[in-house]
Structure 1
């Protein structure tokens, strides 16, 4: 009876459109921003990508467009082996792992489902990945910094609760001995809960991961801007709320793994930070001409009933407002716009 229930679950797993776009948003960022970007500490050395999609996926890798292999077990395993071997060459390598797709939480194990999951009705979990064991085995890799992002559900249907372990396969077997590593794991949701993605769009988690790596997880250290492993989880969590404020409390980011505060990226310029500026009372916005003035950047917005959404290099700015009908007045204020974002309402008085 138990096998029949697992098979019923397997038949319910359908092709999703958001995972391929989510993987591509991370890939495109890495190629565009890190490929030959010598001012940064760690330009991209190599990239492995497998994608499950209804149509063939092609990626512009800088020279020629490359057709991406489908995310079958054989292709995922081969890509992982190549990735592992390159990461293992140097201790100062940084390994980045991103998965988006169907997932399950069976007992204490996170199971990642691949394109050919349940291909055999007799060995349903042959084509699924035991992420916990894969992570544990990666402790043998020489790369000291290893960052893992898992964008998948971590629940199990009620009818299957209490069933035996799924017995999925790790992508690498753990061997005796391991290295001390800086290995944060950022999950898109907590155990027992689902992860969400809108059809034909990257997930909010993927967008938030990209923004965090791009600089919104950075903090300033002696005039340098550094993205550190200790900031990744909490920044992605905050950006999830920023990018989808209606999702508050329904999908909560979970962080795990060993975190040693290593530097993932070092920027030579301040990151560009999104902001939202309004007025209190909100009605004053319709008459407010808002201005930001900083040492190297200035911006302004004419009167509008909508909150001002924009971005600016991280730093201190003077925020001021003039009002078209002179029914309000506001004292200019010093506004610090710092990663990952800034939201502020300027106090306004009626004249």
Structure 2
């Protein structure tokens, strides 16, 4: 199979499974398009964002490893993707995400994750999805291959997620970049979908769980054409620094922060034909998963009130380790600083305004501050 990163050891590790489906050869616009028998499969087709999003997720996972930031070191990445990755500058092995390859990849990944209770399991899927009876189903590359069995290569993710709680790994992260609409066909037809894992009635829940969906129940997920999707872009921004917090000793990414802030990163003001984009999170036992070796950077914008005061202000942003300054200027002060607690001050050479100083905690990604300048 497509085990593109293999440094498996007996110690606690992070094991990742990435599935990206953009090409659906048996659906509309596909190389071997079939006359489908259900309206849902007649109406969906090729995707331009999902495979690109999966590759971006892969590259980010490897980048975090290269910077030695995984708290639980990276042990393996298994990749099912319908475009070649250029991460190493060479053509990497990968398999198309059809039912057979996904079933084997998933079970092999689950076995790796289950070797140590301190392991971290990460699952990522980007492709078509739909909801039936409150269960999310993921459409794999060979869905619609035989129109007589239209749902054969749709995997019941809700059941899969429940089953994976039985894995020994205490830390489990699932990211699903897919629509969750309800097909009209499901109201008149009982869907025979695929189950690739069994749910034990005796199993409990994992200790640390983050399951994150790109959209709310019964809603669509979106991505710009030939670009990373809105959800995956926001998620990766968070993992690479936007979600950083200080736990008293280190700058870390915590699953609780991801859950809480993902909608803000995705842009709550971004509108689609169905309204504001909103993802959904299920979380239990938040845990730190990434630790930065260096202090992360953050963007800061400083303005004055009244606006004209900035024309006369000598601005300074400083703490015991770093100092930034700028002279009078009519434009807002835009700067990039190392995260931390700073004093931000404005001094005036004339008698226009009084000196003002404030204390501000500056954290990634973006910070805005208005200095109140009194005459």
Q: Give the structure-1-normalised TM-score.
A: 0.82
Q: Deviation at 1:285?
A: 6.7
- Is contact 2:252-2:291 (8 Å) kept? yes
**Per-residue Cα deviation, 1:176-200 (whole angstroms, up to 9, x for no partner):** 5324312211112111221111112
Rounded to whole Å, the distance in 1 between the matches of 2:235 and 2:177 is 10
Rounded to whole Å, the distance in 2 between the matches of 1:239 and 1:342 is 13
- Where do 1:155-170 residues align within 5 Å? 155-156=181-182, 159-160=184-185, 162-164=187-189, 166-170=191-195
Instruction: Indicate how the Cα distance of structure 1 residues 88 and 336 shifts in structure 2: closer, same or farther if over 3 A, else same.
Output: same
Q: What does residue 50 of structure 1 align with? A: 80
- Where do 1:1-351 residues align within 5 Å? 7-35=38-66, 37=68, 40-52=70-82, 56-61=83-88, 64-156=90-182, 159-160=184-185, 162-164=187-189, 166-181=191-206, 182-241=208-267, 245-247=269-271, 250-257=276-283, 259-280=284-305, 291-299=316-324, 311-320=336-345, 331-339=356-364, 341-348=366-373
Please provide the CA RMSD for this pair. Answer: 3.3
Instruction: Indicate how the Cα distance of structure 1 residues 229 and 346 shifts in structure 2: closer, same or farther if over 3 A, else same.
Output: same
- Is contact 1:59-1:68 (8 Å) kept? no
Q: Deviation at 1:66?
A: 0.8
Instruction: Indicate how the Cα distance of structure 1 residues 281 and 108 shifts in structure 2: closer, same or farther if over 3 A, else same.
Output: farther
- Is contact 2:243-2:257 (8 Å) kept? yes
Q: Deviation at 1:318?
A: 2.6
Q: Deviation at 1:143?
A: 0.9
- Is contact 1:290-1:301 (8 Å) kept? yes
Q: Give the structure-2-normalised TM-score.
A: 0.77
- Is contact 1:224-1:269 (8 Å) kept? no
Secondary structure of the 1:66 match is: coil
Rounded to whole Å, the distance in 2 between the matches of 1:324 and 1:75 is 71
Instruction: Indicate how the Cα distance of structure 1 residues 225 and 324 shifts in structure 2: closer, same or farther if over 3 A, else same.
Output: same
Secondary structure of the 1:45 match is: strand
Instruction: Indicate how the Cα distance of structure 1 residues 162 and 287 shifts in structure 2: closer, same or farther if over 3 A, else same.
Output: farther
Secondary structure of the 1:140 match is: coil
Range that drifts further, 230-239 or 310-319: 310-319
Secondary structure of the 1:50 match is: strand
Unaligned stretches of 5+ residues in structure 1: none
Unaligned stretches of 5+ residues in structure 2: 1-34
Q: Deviation at 1:96?
A: 0.8
Instruction: Indicate how the Cα distance of structure 1 residues 119 and 282 shifts in structure 2: closer, same or farther if over 3 A, else same.
Output: farther
Instruction: Indicate how the Cα distance of structure 1 residues 281 and 60 shifts in structure 2: closer, same or farther if over 3 A, else same.
Output: same
Rounded to whole Å, the distance in 2 between the matches of 1:17 and 1:252 is 21
- Is contact 1:273-1:311 (8 Å) kept? yes
